[in-house]
């Protein structure tokens, strides 16, 4: 039986992973703690570890896991910016879930947008107090507005389809445009200058970190709405706050936050929030923050569990080749698996 140390486990994770684990002769050791240098010891005696977006998988932790005989790190998410892929090469194989439910994330982005521009959250709170005044609830039509989509992978393209359904004009920026997609691509500067709404759907890399900063915000239209359901560090939160205070940014809808690791996914309602920047953002009347829940649908949870278990099982079966492996051998990380016919190492 394959034993897997499952870090940062939540109640909503367990049913689907238990189900697919039983089907594939796999035992999960569910741990509430996140993976850190101090908690890596908990994986001792296991064959694999399963981690999420806020677990730390740096070089030191990879070395510790390798010493304990861990053979594979399975990410139950698409992003892998928290994993030192380069250091893992030659030691531990790394796999991820490239697509679990792109509809879930794209639909959540659309929900945030509608909630913000039509003041749904304010109306909900108001009517619960039997206040039925419409003062301050005036929104604007999405029809005819220009939305700039940064990143046109599966999620970005589904979000584009949703926007087109509202009659919006869509422009996009991507370093690797989707050929034959019919999407109108422009430069990033053009997108910043022309968009009424900007939605981020790209991975976090050295090139995209803080791509929305003070300089980028300075190029945007006054009153722009910014959506982020990808990774928090795509946005410089201090620059965003200044843009809001300067009335340049009309609204911000954030499902992710750069310093979310010790805050999101936990009940902090009985505590003082030490992150003053996040507290100030949440206090703004034109900011909506959800706690990294865009992925959270029944369909997505099922797909995440099934794919993750299959990723682990495929490593231990046969030649160990997994279609969802992340490899640094050729520096292409994800793309090389489309060409190779054997394990990376």
How far from chain centre, in Å, is Cα 182? Answer: 25
Mean pLDDT is lowest, of 36-40, 100-104, 181-185, 249-253, for 100-104
pLDDT recorded at residue 323: 73
Domain contains 271: yes
Say if residue 302 is in the same domain as residue 283: no
What's the mean pLDDT in 70-87? Answer: 94
Say if residue 89 is in the same domain as residue 72: yes
How many domains, in total, are found in the chain? 2
pLDDT recorded at residue 338: 53
CATH code at position 141: 3.40.50.720
Domain contains 344: no
Domain contains 345: no
Is the Cα dihedral 32, 36, 42, 44 positive or negative? positive
pLDDT at 128 over 80: yes
Say if residue 135 is in the same domain as residue 205: yes
Domain endpoint, select from 271, 289, 307: 289
CB 121 within 8 A of CB 293: no
Q: Which of 76, 231, 306, 325 is catalytic?
A: 231
The residue among 198, 2, 46 whose CA lies nearest residue 113 is: 198
Whether 260 sits among the annotated catalytic residues: the reply is yes
Q: Which of 107, 258, 260, 325 is catalytic?
A: 260
The pTM (predicted TM-score) of the whole model is 0.88
Average pLDDT, the chain: 93
How far from chain centre, in Å, is Cα 181? Answer: 23
DSSP string, 107-134: HHHHHHHHHHHTTHHHHHHHHHTT----
What's the mean pLDDT in 12-20? Answer: 96
221-273 residue pLDDT tens: 999 999 999 999 999 999 999 999 999 999 999 999 999 988 999 899 988 99
Whether 340 sits among the annotated catalytic residues: the reply is no
Say if residue 134 is in the same domain as residue 153: yes
Domain contains 220: yes
pLDDT recorded at residue 335: 57
Say if residue 179 is in the same domain as residue 75: no
Most distant pair of Cα atoms in the chain: their distance:
66
Domain contains 343: no
Whether 292 sits among the annotated catalytic residues: the reply is yes
Say if residue 160 is in the same domain as residue 213: yes
95-108 residue pLDDT tens: 999 888 899 999 99
146-165 residue pLDDT tens: 999 999 999 999 999 999 99
Show the domain range for 221: 102-289
DSSP 217: H
Q: Which of 292, 306, 325, 337 is catalytic?
A: 292
Domain contains 85: yes
pLDDT recorded at residue 329: 62
pLDDT at 177 over 70: yes
């Amino acid at each position: 039986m394959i034993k897997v140390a499952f870090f940062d486990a939540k109640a909503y994770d367990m049913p689907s992973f238990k189900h697919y684990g039983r089907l594939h002769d796999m035992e999960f050791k569910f741990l509430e703690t996140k993976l850190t240098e101090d908690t890596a010891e908990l994986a001792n005696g296991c064959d694999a570890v399963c981690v999420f977006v806020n677990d730390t998988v740096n070089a030191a932790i990879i070395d510790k896991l390798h010493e304990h005989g861990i053979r594979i790190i399975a990410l139950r998410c698409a992003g892998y910016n928290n994993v030192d892929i380069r250091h893992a090469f030659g030691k531990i194989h790394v796999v991820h879930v490239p697509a679990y439910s792109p509809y879930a994330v794209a639909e959540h982005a659309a929900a945030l947008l509608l909630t913000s521009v039509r003041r749904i959250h304010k109306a909900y709170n108001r009517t619960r107090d039997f206040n039925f005044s419409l003062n301050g609830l005036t929104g604007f039509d999405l029809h005819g507005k220009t939305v700039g989509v940064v990143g046109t992978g599966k999620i970005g393209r589904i979000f584009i389809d949703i926007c087109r359904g509202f009659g919006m004009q869509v422009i996009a920026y991507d370093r690797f445009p989707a050929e034959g997609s019919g999407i109108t691509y422009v430069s990033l500067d053009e997108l910043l200058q022309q968009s009424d709404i900007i939605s981020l759907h790209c991975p976090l890399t050295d090139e995209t970190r803080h791509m929305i900063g003070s300089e980028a915000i300075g190029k945007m239209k006054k009153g722009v709405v910014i959506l982020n359901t990808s990774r928090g560090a795509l946005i410089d939160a201090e620059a965003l706050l200044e843009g809001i205070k300067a009335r340049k940014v009309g609204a911000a809808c954030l499902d992710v936050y750069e310093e979310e690791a010790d805050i999101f996914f936990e009940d902090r309602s009985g505590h003082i929030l030490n992150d003053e920047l996040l507290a100030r953002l949440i206090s703004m009347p034109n900011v909506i923050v959800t706690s990294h829940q865009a992925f959270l649908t029944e369909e997505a949870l099922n797909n995440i569990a099934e794919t993750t278990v299959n990723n682990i099982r495929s490593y231990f079966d046969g030649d160990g080749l997994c279609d969802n492996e992340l490899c640094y051998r050729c520096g292409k990380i994800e793309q090389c698996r489309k060409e190779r016919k054997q394990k990376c190492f």
